[in-house]
Amino acid sequence: MASSDKPEVLDRDVKEKDLKKDDKDEEKEGGFMDKVKDFIHDIGEKIEEAIGFGKPTADVTGIHIPSINLEKAELVVDVLVKNPNPIPIPLIDINYLIESDGRKLVSGLIPDAGTIHAHGEETVKIPVTLIYADIKNTYDDIKPGSIIPYRVKVDLIVDVPVIGRITLPLEKTGEIPIPYKPDVDIEKIHFERFSFEETVAVLHLKLENMNDFDLGLNALDYEVWLADVSIGGAELSKSTKLEKNGISHIDVPITFRPKDFGSALWDMIRGRGTGYTIKGNINVDTPFGAMKLPISKEGGTTRLKKNKEDGGDDDDDED
Give the domain CATH number at 136.
Answer: 2.60.40.1820
Identify whether residues 99 and 212 lie together within a single domain: no
Distances (CA, A) of 309 to 196, 271, 305, 306: 22, 18, 12, 9
Identify whether residues 102 and 166 lie together within a single domain: yes
- pTM of the entire predicted model: 0.69
**What is the DSSP code (8-state) at residue 223?**
E
The DSSP element (H or E) to which 145 belongs, if any, is none
Identify whether residues 169 and 66 lie together within a single domain: yes
Residue 21 within a domain: no
Residue 22 within a domain: no
Identify whether residues 277 and 187 lie together within a single domain: yes
| Residue 227: predicted pLDDT | 73
CA 80: distance to chain centroid?
A: 19
Give 35-103 as a DSSP string. Answer: HHHHHHHHHHHHHHHHHT----EEEEEEEEEEEE-SSEEEEEEEEEEE--SSS-EEEEEEEEEEEETTE
Last residue of a domain, one of 155, 178, 201: 178
Residue 192 within a domain: yes
Q: How many domains are contained in the chain?
A: 2
CA 6: distance to chain centroid?
A: 89
Alpha-carbon distance of 291 to 296, in angstroms, equals 16
| Residue 10: predicted pLDDT | 42
Range of the domain at 212: 183-302
Residue 189 within a domain: yes
* Nearest partner of 178 among 242, 100, 104, 103, judged by Cα: 100
Low-confidence ranges of the chain (pLDDT < 50): 1-10, 12, 14-15, 19, 44, 47, 50, 305-319
Range list of H helices, the chain = 6-51, 132-138, 263-269
| Residue 269: predicted pLDDT | 61
| Residue 314: predicted pLDDT | 43
| Residue 295: predicted pLDDT | 92
Residue 309 within a domain: no
Identify whether residues 199 and 267 lie together within a single domain: yes
Identify whether residues 116 and 76 lie together within a single domain: yes
Alpha-carbon distance of 319 to 306, in angstroms, equals 20
Identify whether residues 68 and 149 lie together within a single domain: yes
End-to-end CA distance of the chain: 123
Identify whether residues 156 and 237 lie together within a single domain: no
